[in-house]
């Protein structure tokens, strides 16, 4: 599999691609995509890495694995392409964005713009079998994600990490600067009662300003 990435990711991928686990991960992906219906499109698995350079990351929002319905996943956590109905978790995220910052994003669930403005929307499991959440949990993604979070922490100490849900919170142990962690419940309808009214977007912008960074343009 040819992995395309923006300038600045070469060091990370050059190191990972030499490791046995990563070679096996790519083989596992090839096998799964040949034998099953998987999401996102194979060409979109690493698409996030083409949209933003490491030096431009301000916020990392950690998701679990891609949407597992047809045409939903597009390589960015929580995002869908234009013209696709917003999944419930994304609708709930937009509810909070509206309450926090008076920004209405409901017309489009495409979050490419967020990435280009410094938000790294990362699923720690980068692929999934249709209608089967966590189906690719054990094919190598966990090691890749651990190494990625550690790498980002080694090259940057000013990135804000947003951990929604217990799965994402597991990655807090790889984040060196605990003051830059924002934790909360997952935006899924099952836990929305705990997710809502936590002012996540206000907290993100507050920490950015505290770290002398420009706030994110969360508009479309």
Residues recognised as catalytic: 65
Find, among 97, 104, 117, the residue nearest to 199 by Cα. 97
Edge-to-edge strand ranges of the sheet holding 119-123? 119-123, 59-63, 160-164, 181-184
Picking from 207, 150, 200, 158, the residue whose alpha carbon sits closest to that of residue 175 is 150
Of the candidates 208, 186, 216, which has an alpha carbon nearest to the alpha carbon of residue 77? 186
Which residues in 16-149 belong to E strands, given as ranges? 38-39, 59-63, 119-123, 128-129
């Amino acid at each position: 599999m040819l992995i395309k990435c923006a300038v600045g990711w070469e060091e990370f991928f050059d190191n990972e691609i030499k490791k046995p686990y990563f070679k096996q991960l790519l083989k596992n992906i090839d096998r799964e995509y040949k034998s099953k219906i998987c999401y996102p499109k194979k060409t979109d698995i690493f698409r996030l890495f083409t949209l933003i350079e490491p030096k431009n990351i301000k916020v990392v929002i950690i998701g679990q694995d891609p949407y597992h319905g047809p045409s939903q996943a597009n390589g960015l956590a929580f995002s869908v392409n234009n013209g696709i109905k917003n999944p419930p978790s994304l609708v709930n995220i937009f509810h909070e964005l509206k309450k926090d910052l008076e920004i209405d994003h409901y017309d489009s669930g495409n979050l490419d713009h967020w990435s280009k403005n410094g938000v790294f929307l990362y699923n720690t499991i980068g692929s999934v079998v249709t209608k089967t959440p966590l189906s690719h949990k054990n094919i190598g993604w966990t090691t890749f994600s651990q190494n990625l979070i550690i790498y980002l922490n080694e090259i940057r100490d000013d990135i804000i990490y947003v951990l929604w849900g217990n799965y994402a919170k597991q990655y807090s142990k790889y984040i060196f600067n605990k003051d830059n962690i924002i934790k909360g419940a997952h935006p899924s309808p099952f836990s929305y009662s705990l997710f809502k009214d936590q002012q996540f977007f206000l907290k993100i912008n507050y920490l950015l300003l505290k770290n002398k960074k420009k706030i994110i343009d969360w508009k479309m």
